[in-house]
Homo-oligomer: A and B are copies of this chain.
Amino acid sequence: MNPPAHNPTMLDVAQAAGVSRALVSIVMRDAPGASPATREHVKRIAAQLGYVPDARARALRTQDRPAIGVVFRVDQPFHTALLDSLYGAAEQAHRPVVLSAITAARGEQRALESLISNRCGAVIMLEPHLPPRLLREITRQLPLIAVATSLTDRGIDSVTSDDAMGMTQAINHLTELGHQRIWFAESHNSGGNPERRAAFLAETARMGEKAGTVVEGGDVEGAGARVAKLFLNTQERPTAVACFNDACAAGLQDVLVRAHVRVPQEVSIIGFDDAPLASLPYRELTTIAQDLATLGRTAVELAIKRSQQAAPDAVLRRIPTHLRTRGTTARSIPSTI
């Protein structure tokens, strides 16, 4: 079979395969209405012709719609989980997505620059750490949306979970269970931490002067392990620990289990994010879920809106959070001291 001289179309595939154009469309879209044998036949012919289903046509349709760039961290499950909703929202808007990863050897600035030189029409940055001043300068060239960090007061459009709401849900859950001595294992470099910290202090202050203590945590399992060491070496242990995220909570839980501290009988643990590890059957972390679908969709919508019209002031979109009660929180047992 000789391939057509032009870029093969769905019609070329249909003619070569001896089927209707509509059937080719059904097969290429994986829509119902074709037998497995037909699907295989059509896909084989399409591949032989070099026909690229959907994507190339989509690219033609969207060629005046510049790509949305996304800067994310490969080692943050929260970031990679967000990609799903970002892809979905961009696809609905017929916009291609270009990813640029922050890795051990590739910093945030380089990740951002590669998107700018790629002529993206807008950039979404997950938890940016670059100086807001630098980011603001970039917004003069193209729309830039910060996700999971509010930089609105620094002039950057931002989409975040309502971190204060999330922490308030966590502390209310714990106080309803009777906890009166609670730690917050913060992650002081992470987006959202200032809001979570402030909400933690406000909520626990109402319970009395010594109810709430902020300790150094982090956003990875190893940080949670260090919180566990602190817990084990403290005279006046808390009855509950709210962790910055689920990875930190998992590290804390794992070390306590190994030290024969019973969770939740001796200490309740609550995470943040509802990451996949939180629902593992042996882990069953109580956590605060972020609404990834809405976060991603809102970020894409805002990026597109900004690429169509500039606005004088940076806006903030706050997405509500939800408490997921699982097995690591329970009623506080009154201390015998």
Does A176 lie at the interface of the complex (its beta carbon under 8 Å from any beta carbon of B)? no
Using known A-B contacts A55-B116, A254-B254, determine if residue A282 contacts B80 with beta carbons closer than 8 Å. Answer: no
Question: Which of B84, B116, B140 is close to A103, meaning CB atoms less than 8 Å apart?
Answer: B84
Does A257 lie at the interface of the complex (its beta carbon under 8 Å from any beta carbon of B)? yes
CB–CB A117/B84 < 8 A: no
A100 to B221, CA, bound (A): 27
Does A141 lie at the interface of the complex (its beta carbon under 8 Å from any beta carbon of B)? yes
Q: How many Å from the CB of A48 to the closest CB on chain B?
A: 6
Does A215 lie at the interface of the complex (its beta carbon under 8 Å from any beta carbon of B)? no
Q: Which residues of B contact A301 (CB under 8 A)?
A: none
Contact pattern, A 222-263, Cβ under 8 Å of B = 1, otherwise 0: 100100000000000000000000000001001101100000
CB–CB B96/A99 < 8 A: no
Q: Which residues of B contact A281 (CB under 8 A)?
A: 222, 225
Chain B: which residue is nearest A260 at the CB level?
B260
CB–CB B105/A222 < 8 A: no
- Interface size, A (range): 35 or more
CB–CB B282/A55 < 8 A: no
Question: Which of B55, B88, B138, B280 is close to A222, meaning CB atoms less than 8 Å apart?
Answer: B280
Please give the count of copies of this chain that the complex contains.
2
CB–CB A280/B225 < 8 A: yes
Does A310 lie at the interface of the complex (its beta carbon under 8 Å from any beta carbon of B)? no
CB–CB A84/B106 < 8 A: yes
Chain B: which residue is nearest A99 at the CB level?
B99
Q: How many Å from the CB of A222 to the closest CB on chain B?
A: 6
Question: Which of B58, B98, B116, B137 is close to A98, meaning CB atoms less than 8 Å apart?
Answer: B98
Of the A-B pairs whose beta carbons lie under 8 Å apart in the complex, a sample of 24, sorted by A's number, is: A44-B133, A44-B134, A47-B133, A47-B134, A47-B138, A52-B113, A52-B116, A53-B113, A55-B117, A74-B83, A80-B101, A83-B101, A83-B103, A84-B103, A87-B103, A87-B106, A96-B114, A99-B99, A221-B280, A222-B281, A225-B282, A251-B282, A254-B257, A258-B282
